[in-house]
Chains A and B, each alone.
Chain A
Amino acid sequence: MTATVPPPALRSGRVTPTAGEVAAVGRRRRPWRRLWAVVLGVVTVAAYVVFRTEGATEDGDAAAFRFFDGVRDWVDANRDSSPVFLYGINYVRLGVRLLVDAVQAALSGLGFAGLVAAITGLGVVLAGWRTGLLALGGFLAFAVLGLWEQSVDTLVLTVSAVLLSVAIGVPLGVLAARVRWVGAALRPVLDVMQILPTFAYLAPMTLLFLIGEPAAVIATMIYAVPATIRITALGIGEVSPSAVEAATALGSTRWQLLRKVRLPMARPTIVLAVNQTIMLALSMVVITALIDAPGLGQNIVSALQRVNVGAAFDAGLAIVILAVVLDRITTNAARRVRRSLSIRGGIGVGIAVVAAAFIPLGSADLPAYSFAAPVNDAVGWIELHWYDVTEGLKNGISAGVLDPLETVLVTSPWWLFVAAVAAFGTLISGWRAAAVAAPAAAGLAGLGLWQHSMQTLATVLVAIVLTMLIGVATGVVCARHDRLATALRPVLDAAQTMPSFVYLLPAVALFGASRFTAIVAAVIFAVPPVVRLVERGLRDVPPAVVEAARSAGSTPRQLLWKVQLPMARGGLLLAANQGIVMVLAMVVVGGLVGAGALGYDVVAGFSQRELFGQGLAAGLAIVLLGIVLDRLTQGFHDSKGPRR
């Protein structure tokens, strides 16, 4: 793994198990569990056969929908009169607007040449001249792609959201690490926040903050801040106790300890937290184009609407460039963090930036190039020549796997589903996890969106199976072929910086509007981290063990199946857990391109007034589904390993 992109587990701010923990999980054996699993399976199937229902269709009317509609009406009526809004929420909106305007003024005030010089200078000072050159090339590329203004808008929103996240997340992270009850109280909240699919909170955001930049920045902050908090807390918690003790012994006050010892020592980790916050914010900012945030997201939304893969390619490329530049600057800054910035260098760069701001060079003065035409040609060619293959694949999987699974889930009585979640949850992840998952599953029924939830669940399950098949296979190959792994790494890096949204396009182009399209997009989205985790899990198997197995005469295949995969089980299960959360997020976004079910409800909810309540309920259902899936799989890696 290159140091530039931290492991996916850390990306989402989760704590990654060490090799030791992974191995420990792998070693555990519980013979009775297999028996129980079989018994439970048989009982569940029998119960299904006996109690199967007709799968009553939803009539778009449920208590939950009416309740949310009521909430919406109340908010609409009181937005300018209720004190909650007059003195609270509207001020938040105003404050964020002020922040965005200030950042905007600062960045656009520099002008094209000035901003390019500034980012280059920042790169040089913080991260060395290589990174500076990368930043220079990257920002010039925005102009060449004709996306300068949109890129700056995206940058403005990202920077604003990151500033907010850091302002809120770092203090909270410090508190979480230092004050036990704060940490304990935050933990479940962060857990839920991290599995919230981006899509689910757009509607509540517009309800509270209306559309526009403030709502977008706040939504982005909510998406990114858990990583800020988690990683900061991790960094503060990891500060060497002996240094703290030494400083205490010299008579430091608590505040001096924090300011002079804990924070500086955690600084590399906090910079990493900022890095992760930036990456997450960038991917969310793009999605907030749906609620009228400006920037590259607008290009992608409009490309999606016009099924114009080429246009999206340019915008997607710009996003990746922005992500790579910001990522390199922050990771390299984290690595060089101790060399105090040379003041002279800083002044020099400052002068250069000011001078550059007066260069009358505009973004339009650069030669222009767009990938749109060649990409569209390529897509057209594929559409024409692969039509039978893509159709066959789509129809085969839909009819052969997806439809039967969906039928089973939809026709299960809800109580059977809840019972199954409780039973299998206990078996897989322990009663704690089941105690959270089962009520969440019951909540799905209570929301009046049973059928849609089960349809979404079916799509998610198929997608996760495909993701794991592809991810594990690729991971295994990568773990065995160093060259291939090295070659694949930058691709995986880029794939992980790409906002989920972008993946819809090639899928739509190839498969039209269907659930399978969402599955394909989800697989593309979730495979890279799975590959990473699997590869790492396999590589973490101690060489001594592999050597021993070899010397006992194992064939490579035996080595893989009998030694490496079982020992990497922890890594595989972690990959499944991570993958499933990502897949859910993507399948829901697939509602934009014909995947229907909950994702469609959400989209319809914030684009059609009379569907608002249903949309909000669907958002909640997605969250509940996320909790069910996460808890059921989290036990894989969490409850058995030592908790920190």
Chain B
Amino acid sequence: MTPMIEVADLWKVFGPRPERVVGSPLADLSRAELRERTGCVIAVRGVSFDVRPGEVFVVMGLSGSGKSTLVRCLTRLIEPTSGEIGIGGEPVRAMNPSRLRELRRRRVAMVFQHFGLLPHRSVLDNVAYGLEIQGRSRAERHRRAGETLALVGLEGHENQYPDQLSGGMQQRVGLARALATDPEVLLFDEPFSALDPLIRRDMQAEVRRLHGEVGKTLVFITHDLSEALSLGDRIAVLRDGALVQVGTPEELVGAPADSYVADFVRDVPRSDVLTLRWIMREPAPGERCEDEPLSQHTVIRDAVHRVLRAERPIPVVDGVRRVGVIDADRLLPALIGHHRQVPA
């Protein structure tokens, strides 16, 4: 399957004459030193990754690690300094302005942290904006905008203005606006970090639901690990502009690539993320097991009940092949402990 988004060795350097930094010894200087010597800041540093169609790809990192810059480079809202970007197989950096506009109008839409709604337009006209600038007729764009609003649960608010809505509702409008043009790819730049925790959880559920319903490719930026874990098929961790690890949530939690990632995942309740694969052991020779096996993809928490009530270790299978066993001795530390686990 061809990837939906391909990024290869992408650099973004802010400052005067940024080209000279890429691929030169300057790039190895510390942040402060580089700034001192050249006035430049490296926001994205040689990043490469692919996103598969229909995948939810989360980019995570501390504030200032270059997440926003990276996601904006994808549609050249920020012009990359070097590197390649492909969307749907087409090289984005080679596009002329009108081709690029087409890309933004029809294929890739974005949802922003601060919503970016137009305060002088009603909710309906905000959602219809993308269709309007494509030159669609008024009736068509209003119909489509109405449908999209219904999709995000905002029927009845069409004629209100953004400042009459709560933050969560405003972001739903932002979401609807992005969905209205029916793009293949949705980019989210920390869309929920300005919202209250409760509302944030609602919105995350909403995104999961929509992803299920409309099946778009999602690139989701966040600095919130639990958000990343709950949404991401795969998570990329960014540090000082460079990717330190790309992997599934459990790969991250179970096997952080370095202490930066480890710090990130330290407080994660591992039993919620890790699957049995991470804590099973080899069966002792001749050991007797329960009959009913558990899949190795079972999340630990979901296995607690059975494991603790079982008298004997439970076999763990990958499909039909038995790969290990699990018992209370292996399970309990994972439930309470926060220390590093090593995959078997």
- Residues of chain A at the chain B interface (Cβ within 8 Å): 240, 242-253, 256, 260-261, 264-265, 267, 337-338
Closest chain-A Cβ to B177's Cβ sits at a distance in Å of 7
Report the separation of the CA atoms of residues A251 and B134 in the bound assembly, to the nearest whole angstrom.
Answer: 8
- Check A243/B116 contact, CB under 8 A, given A249-B109, A251-B104, A251-B105: yes
In the complex, chain B residues whose CB is within 8 Å of the CB of A247? 116, 118, 129, 133
Across the interface, do A245 and B118 meet the contact criterion of CB distance under 8 Å?
no
Report the separation of the CA atoms of residues A337 and B161 in the bound assembly, to the nearest whole angstrom.
Answer: 13
Closest chain-B Cβ to A580's Cβ sits at a distance in Å of 39
Q: A264-B121, A338-B119 are in contact. List 4 more A-B contacts (CB 8 A).
A: A240-B114, A246-B112, A249-B112, A267-B120
- Check A338/B101 contact, CB under 8 A, given A243-B117, A245-B116, A246-B110: no
In the complex, chain A residues whose CB is within 8 Å of the CB of B114? 240, 242
CB<8 Å pairs between A and B, sample of 16: A243-B116, A243-B119, A244-B116, A245-B116, A246-B110, A246-B116, A246-B117, A247-B116, A249-B77, A249-B104, A249-B109, A250-B104, A250-B109, A261-B118, A265-B119, A267-B120
Closest chain-B Cβ to A175's Cβ sits at a distance in Å of 21
Across the interface, do A242 and B115 meet the contact criterion of CB distance under 8 Å?
yes
B75 within 8 Å of A (CB atoms) = yes
Across the interface, do B120 and A251 meet the contact criterion of CB distance under 8 Å?
no
Residue of A whose beta carbon sits closest to that of B108: A249
Report the separation of the CA atoms of residues A580 and B103 in the bound assembly, to the nearest whole angstrom.
Answer: 56
B181 within 8 Å of A (CB atoms) = yes
- Check A249/B75 contact, CB under 8 A, given A242-B112, A242-B116, A338-B161: yes
B130 within 8 Å of A (CB atoms) = yes
Closest chain-A Cβ to B317's Cβ sits at a distance in Å of 46
Across the interface, do B130 and A250 meet the contact criterion of CB distance under 8 Å?
yes
B102 within 8 Å of A (CB atoms) = yes
How would residues 130 to 145 of chain B score, 1 for a CB under 8 Å from any chain A CB and 0 otherwise? 1011100000000000
How would residues 280 to 313 of chain B score, 1 for a CB under 8 Å from any chain A CB and 0 otherwise? 0000000000000000000000000000000000
Q: Residue among A253, A260, A267 with the most chain B CB within 10 A?
A: A260
Q: Residue among B75, B118, B134 with the most chain A CB within 10 A?
A: B118
Looking at chain A's contact residues, the main secondary structure is helix
In the complex, chain A residues whose CB is within 8 Å of the CB of B103? 251
Q: Residue among A251, A253, A260, A267 with the most chain B CB within 10 A?
A: A251
Query: B118: which of A248, A249, A265, A337 is its contact (CB, 8 Å)?
Result: A265
In the complex, chain B residues whose CB is within 8 Å of the CB of A246? 110, 112, 115-117, 174, 177
- Check A264/B120 contact, CB under 8 A, given A249-B75, A250-B130, A251-B134: yes
Across the interface, do B133 and A250 meet the contact criterion of CB distance under 8 Å?
yes
Query: A250: which of B105, B113, B115, B119 is its contact (CB, 8 Å)?
Result: B105
Across the interface, do A252 and B133 meet the contact criterion of CB distance under 8 Å?
yes
Q: Sort A-B residue pairs by CB-CB distance and give the 8 closest, nearest first.
A: A246-B116, A251-B105, A251-B104, A242-B116, A250-B130, A249-B110, A242-B114, A264-B120
Across the interface, do A251 and B101 meet the contact criterion of CB distance under 8 Å?
yes
Closest chain-A Cβ to B114's Cβ sits at a distance in Å of 4
In the complex, chain B residues whose CB is within 8 Å of the CB of A337? 120
Residue total for B at the interface (Cβ-Cβ under 8 A):
30
In the complex, chain A residues whose CB is within 8 Å of the CB of B101? 251-253
In the complex, chain A residues whose CB is within 8 Å of the CB of B161? 338
In the complex, chain B residues whose CB is within 8 Å of the CB of A248? 77, 104
Q: Residue among A242, A243, A256, A264 with the most chain B CB within 10 A?
A: A243
- Residues of chain B at the chain A interface (Cβ within 8 Å): 75, 77, 101-106, 109-110, 112-121, 129-130, 132-134, 161, 174, 177, 181, 187
In the complex, chain B residues whose CB is within 8 Å of the CB of A249? 75, 77, 104, 109-110, 112, 187
- Check A264/B75 contact, CB under 8 A, given A246-B110, A250-B104, A256-B133: no
Closest chain-B Cβ to A244's Cβ sits at a distance in Å of 8
Closest chain-A Cβ to B301's Cβ sits at a distance in Å of 39
Report the separation of the CA atoms of residues A531 and B9 in the bound assembly, to the nearest whole angstrom.
Answer: 61
Residue of B whose beta carbon sits closest to that of A337: B120
Report the separation of the CA atoms of residues A446 and B40 in the bound assembly, to the nearest whole angstrom.
Answer: 49
In the complex, chain A residues whose CB is within 8 Å of the CB of B77? 245, 248-249
Closest chain-A Cβ to B194's Cβ sits at a distance in Å of 11
In the complex, chain A residues whose CB is within 8 Å of the CB of B177? 246, 250
Residue of A whose beta carbon sits closest to that of B174: A246
Closest chain-B Cβ to A394's Cβ sits at a distance in Å of 56
Q: Residue among B118, B120, B161, B174 with the most chain A CB within 10 A?
A: B120
Residue of B whose beta carbon sits closest to that of A267: B120
Report the separation of the CA atoms of residues A261 and B133 in the bound assembly, to the nearest whole angstrom.
Answer: 11
Across the interface, do B120 and A265 meet the contact criterion of CB distance under 8 Å?
yes
Across the interface, do B134 and A264 meet the contact criterion of CB distance under 8 Å?
no
In the complex, chain A residues whose CB is within 8 Å of the CB of B132? 260
Report the separation of the CA atoms of residues A245 and B109 in the bound assembly, to the nearest whole angstrom.
Answer: 12
In the complex, chain B residues whose CB is within 8 Å of the CB of A245? 77, 112, 116
Closest chain-B Cβ to A343's Cβ sits at a distance in Å of 15
Report the separation of the CA atoms of residues A250 and B183 in the bound assembly, to the nearest whole angstrom.
Answer: 10
Report the separation of the CA atoms of residues A267 and B121 in the bound assembly, to the nearest whole angstrom.
Answer: 12
Q: Residue among A244, A246, A252, A260 with the most chain B CB within 10 A?
A: A246
Report the separation of the CA atoms of residues A267 and B129 in the bound assembly, to the nearest whole angstrom.
Answer: 18
Closest chain-A Cβ to B134's Cβ sits at a distance in Å of 7
Across the interface, do B102 and A264 meet the contact criterion of CB distance under 8 Å?
no
Report the separation of the CA atoms of residues A244 and B119 in the bound assembly, to the nearest whole angstrom.
Answer: 12
Residue of A whose beta carbon sits closest to that of B104: A251
Residue of B whose beta carbon sits closest to that of A250: B130
In the complex, chain B residues whose CB is within 8 Å of the CB of A251? 101-106, 130, 133-134
Query: B120: which of A242, A250, A256, A338 is its contact (CB, 8 Å)?
Result: A338
Report the separation of the CA atoms of residues A243 and B117 in the bound assembly, to the nearest whole angstrom.
Answer: 6
Across the interface, do B133 and A260 meet the contact criterion of CB distance under 8 Å?
yes
Report the separation of the CA atoms of residues A75 and B120 in the bound assembly, to the nearest whole angstrom.
Answer: 51
Closest chain-A Cβ to B110's Cβ sits at a distance in Å of 4
Report the separation of the CA atoms of residues A251 and B120 in the bound assembly, to the nearest whole angstrom.
Answer: 19
In the complex, chain B residues whose CB is within 8 Å of the CB of A240? 114, 116
Residue of A whose beta carbon sits closest to that of B97: A253
In the complex, chain B residues whose CB is within 8 Å of the CB of A244? 116
Closest chain-A Cβ to B120's Cβ sits at a distance in Å of 4
Report the separation of the CA atoms of residues A338 and B134 in the bound assembly, to the nearest whole angstrom.
Answer: 24
Report the separation of the CA atoms of residues A260 and B120 in the bound assembly, to the nearest whole angstrom.
Answer: 10
Report the separation of the CA atoms of residues A517 and B302 in the bound assembly, to the nearest whole angstrom.
Answer: 92
Residue of B whose beta carbon sits closest to that of A243: B116
Report the separation of the CA atoms of residues A260 and B114 in the bound assembly, to the nearest whole angstrom.
Answer: 19
In the complex, chain B residues whose CB is within 8 Å of the CB of A250? 104-105, 109, 129-130, 133, 177, 181
Closest chain-A Cβ to B76's Cβ sits at a distance in Å of 10
In the complex, chain A residues whose CB is within 8 Å of the CB of B117? 243, 246
Residue of B whose beta carbon sits closest to that of A244: B116
In the complex, chain A residues whose CB is within 8 Å of the CB of B133? 247, 250-253, 256, 260
Residue of A whose beta carbon sits closest to that of B130: A250
In the complex, chain A residues whose CB is within 8 Å of the CB of B130? 250-251
Report the separation of the CA atoms of residues A256 and B132 in the bound assembly, to the nearest whole angstrom.
Answer: 10
Closest chain-A Cβ to B188's Cβ sits at a distance in Å of 12
